Amino acid sequence: MLEVVNPYNLRKVGQVPTVNWDEVDQYLATATALSKDRKARLPDYQRIEILKKAAVLMEGRFEELALLIANEGGKPLGDARVEVTRAIDGLGLCIKELGNNAGREIPMGLTAAGTGHLAFTQREPIGPVVAVSAFNHPLNLIVHQAAPAIAVGCPVLVKPAEDTPLSCQAFVEIMYEAGLPEDWCRFVACDIPTTEKMVTDSRVAFFSFIGSARVGWMLRSKLAPGTRCALEHGGVAPVIVEESADWSTMVPSLLKGGFYHSGQVCVSVQRVFAPKAQAQELANQLAAGAKKLKVGDASHEDVDCGPLIRPHEVDRIEAWVNEAVEEGATLVCGGKRLGNTTYTPTVLLNPAVTSKVSTLEVFGPVVCVYGYDSIDDAIEQANSLPFAFQASVFTKNLDVAMAAIHDLDASAVMVNQHTAFRVDWMPFEGRKQSGYNVGGIGYTMHDMTEEKMAVINL
C-alpha cells in the first residue's frame, strides 16, 4: 500500500494499492490484445456515452474531488474547485474533438499517374498508452493524459505521482462507474523500477509524461523503437514589462501567475524584466501584494498559498533564495520558511544572472524582478536559457507587443496576461529542454491516433 499524506500537516489522508511488475505485465498484455482485436474496439458513440456519464458523475462529486485535490496536493481549495471544473470540461472537449479527429481526401488527379484513383485517410487508435503524471494538478492532468486515450479508443495505463494518487484513482473509478470496461483504463501505482520497465516496454505505442526534465528525457532515451511520446517539463517563465504597461491590471496578474499553487506550476511567473527606473517600484508593489497572501492548510477556504509538496522542497527553495541574496539579490519580501512544509511568498530584486533562481525552474513561491536598460537586452536575457515554454509581455504599445511575440523564444507569448494562463483546448508545449511534442486535449488525441490511407483504382 502507498500511504498519502496532507503536505501541510503530513497527516495521512488515504492510501492506494500498489502493483508489481507481474500485474503490470498482464495489463500490458491485455491492452495489446485489445488493440490488435479490431472487433473488440468500443464504437465512438459508446465512448461518447461513457465520457458524458463520467462528466455527470464528476459534477455530482464536485466538492469531494476538490477537497481531495486540496488534501493530497496542497492546492488551495478555491483553485482546486477551478481544477475540477476544468477536468469536467475536459471530458466535454474530448467528445467535441472526436468530431474533428478525422481523415481527409488526398487529391490524385494532379498527374497522369494518379488519374483514375480515389484516395482518402482515416485515423486509427495508435495502441496501448502509458501515462505518467505529475502532482501539481492531480485530477486535470490525468484527464489530459487518460481521457484522450479513452476517447480515441486506446487502452491506457495511468501512473499517478506518488504524492497525489487519490485523485487519479477517483477518476479511474468514475470511468468504470460510467461504463468503461476495466481493461481499457488501469490505475497503476508502482515503484520506480516497475515504472521504468512499464514505460520502456516494447508493447507501449505512446508514452505521455508530465514531470521533471531529468526524468522525462531519461525515459525518452530508453523507449522501445517505435514508441511515440509527448513530454511536458517546466520553464523559467519570463515576463517583459514595457514602460507603458497598465500596472493596475498587471500587478494582480503577476501575483496570480507567480504565487498560484505556491509557484508549483510549470509556467509560473519567475523572471520579470522591467525598465531600470521602474524595477524597484514594481518589486515593491509585488511585495505588498505577496505579503497579503495567506499561507496555510490548502483545505481552508481563506488560504491563498498552500504547502510545498514535500518538506525537502522547502529546504531547496530556502537554499536557493539564500544563495541569491548572498550573490547580490535584494530581498524585497519573504525569504523565510514558516515551518517544515511552507515558505513565504518571496520577491527578489536583481538576482545575479548566474544564480539558481535566474537559471533554473524554482517551482516555488519566488518571483524575481530585473531592471533592464533596453527591451532588446531584456529579451536577450529572457531567451538565454535552455528552457522555453510560455512567456508574456505587458504593454499598451502594439509595436512592442508584436516585437515581443516575434522575438521571445517561447511556444506561446501572452500579451497583458501572466505566463501561467491556459485554457485546455490550447496547444501547450515546451521548447528545447522544456518538453517534446504538443499537449492540449485535441492535440493529444491527434497524437494518440495514426493516419491510414486508402487508394482505390476506379
| Tens-place pLDDT, residues 252-308 | 999 999 999 999 999 999 999 999 999 999 999 999 999 999 999 999 999 999 999
- Catalytic residues, by residue number, are 232, 266
**What top-level class would CATH report for the domain 2-233+434-457?**
alpha beta
- Per-residue model confidence (pLDDT) at position 5: 97
Q: What mean pLDDT is predicted for residues 164-188?
A: 98
Q: What mean pLDDT is predicted for residues 404-433?
A: 96
User: 29 vs 20, 32, 128, 203, 316, CA distance in Å?
Assistant: 14, 5, 10, 8, 41
- Per-residue model confidence (pLDDT) at position 40: 87
Distance CA 85, CA 89 (A): 6
- Per-residue model confidence (pLDDT) at position 115: 95
Determine what percent of the chain is predicted with pLDDT higher than 90.
99
User: 8 vs 66, 73, 265, 333, 366, CA distance in Å?
Assistant: 16, 9, 18, 22, 19
Residue 15 CB coordination number (10 Å): 15
- Per-residue model confidence (pLDDT) at position 192: 96
Distance CA 256, CA 135 (A): 19
The residues near 89 (Cβ < 8 Å, ≥ 6 apart) are: 424
Tell me the whole-structure pTM to 2 decimals.
Answer: 0.94
Each residue's pLDDT tens digit, 366-397: 999 999 999 999 999 999 999 999 999 999 99
**166 phi-psi bin (left φ>0, alpha ψ -120 to 50, beta other):** alpha
Q: What mean pLDDT is predicted for residues 426-453?
A: 96
Distance CA 142, CA 158 (A): 8
Q: What mean pLDDT is predicted for residues 313-324?
A: 98
- Per-residue model confidence (pLDDT) at position 261: 97
DSSP 3-state of 19 = coil
Please provide the CATH number assigned to the domain covering 238-423.
3.40.309.10
Each residue's pLDDT tens digit, 41-83: 999 999 999 999 999 999 999 999 999 999 999 999 999 999 9
Each residue's pLDDT tens digit, 7-29: 999 999 999 999 999 999 999 99
- Per-residue model confidence (pLDDT) at position 124: 96
Task: Give the neighbor-by-neighbor strand order of the sheet with 390-394.
Answer: 330-333, 346-349, 366-372, 271-275, 238-241, 390-394, 412-415
Question: Mean of the per-residue pLDDT values for the chain?
Answer: 97
| Sequence ranges of the domains in the chain | 2-233+434-457, 238-423
Nearest to 227 by CA among 211, 206, 199: 206
